[in-house]
Amino acid sequence: MTRSLTVVIIVFAALLAAALVYALMAPGRGFSDTAPVAQVNGRTITRGEVQAALWRGHAAQGLKALADRVIVEKLAQEKGLKPDPSRIDYLMSQEEMRAGSPQKLDERLAREGRTREQLREDLASQALAEQVLETQLQVTEDEIKAYYAAHKSQFTHGEMIKGRLMVFNTRDNAKAILEVLDEPGADFAGLARELSEDPGTKAEGGDMGWIERKSYAKELTDPAFRLRPGQHTGIIQYPDGYALILVEAKKPAGQQSLEEVRDTIDSLLRNEKLVNLRTTWPVEQRKKAQITIGDEGLRKAFEAVRGS
């Protein structure tokens, strides 16, 4: 089930639920509520007609969505899971982005007859479903090794250096530090930690980690890759300022080891399994669930879609 379809079904399920609740609370009247809700070419459409149309046309799909929701909530309760508020905030921001702006989202919700609170509840259910699915994920060591063996060509690297970086806003500042670096025993990492103006590496003593030529701007990597371990560049002028780079180690192009890419492969396999579970897991749980439906017509319609 795709996310967009999930959202559509959740929205519809809320409408269907209202119809179901209405019918259960007023069984004697059924869908006979004559309150007008619209007019088409002068013909009044009643609330009861809308509810009846929902029931006849979409009850089974709506019930399936509601059943999935109940199944997820029960399993989440058993596992002690609760929706992560930060995840719900993120999903809400995505809804605003898709709508075009927070104001346009409010306008869309108003047209749908819903509130932000109701949307947040739906997104919380969606986030909870993802958390439950994640508990079903398991990637084995054998799977990681098999993926690595089958995709070795993807896990290669070019020539690499392990470097440290200092960046300054002015050439004069860079020149002053360069003069200190040329003195015996100069501590590049210590100077970077104290004086570098690069917020990304300053706290780590300018540590760039292992990088390839493509990792940074050409103006920085070209002079750095010409050096031997232990050497530092002169002043490099580039768009963000003036830089000094120390090369600590080098290694030629080659194959990345399994240990180097283990986390990457684990993440890839988990994502693949999660995509598959979004389709297969609800069907499996729905088939195992004890679902009792009193209405014969609805029961037959639901059974027809239960495994889809």
pLDDT per residue as tens digits for the range 16-49? 444 444 444 343 345 678 888 888 888 898 888 8
- Global pTM reads 0.57
- Is 87:127 a contact under the CB 8 Å cutoff? yes
Each of the 308 residues of the chain gets a pLDDT tens digit; together they read 334 333 333 334 444 444 444 444 343 345 678 888 888 888 898 888 887 777 767 888 888 888 888 888 888 999 899 988 999 999 999 999 999 999 999 999 999 888 999 999 989 988 998 899 888 889 999 999 999 999 999 999 999 999 999 999 999 999 999 999 989 999 999 999 999 999 999 999 999 999 999 999 999 999 999 999 999 999 999 988 999 999 999 999 999 999 989 999 999 999 999 999 888 988 888 888 888 888 787 888 888 888 88
Are residues 282 and 224 part of one domain?
Answer: no
Which tokens hold the place of 126?
Answer: 């969606």
* Structural domain count, the chain: 2
Are residues 295 and 209 part of one domain?
Answer: no
Are residues 277 and 227 part of one domain?
Answer: no
Are residues 205 and 295 part of one domain?
Answer: no
Where b means 16+ CB within 10 Å and e means fewer, 217-241 reads: eeebbeebbebeeeebbeebeeeeb
Is the four-CA dihedral 257, 259, 262, 264 of positive or negative sign?
A: negative
Is 288 inside any structural domain? yes
Q: Where are the beta strands (DSSP E) in the chain?
A: 36-40, 43-46, 156-157, 160-168, 207-212, 236-238, 241-251, 254-255
Place of tokens 């750095």: 224
Are residues 270 and 204 part of one domain?
Answer: no
Which residues span the domain enclosing 24? 3-80+263-305
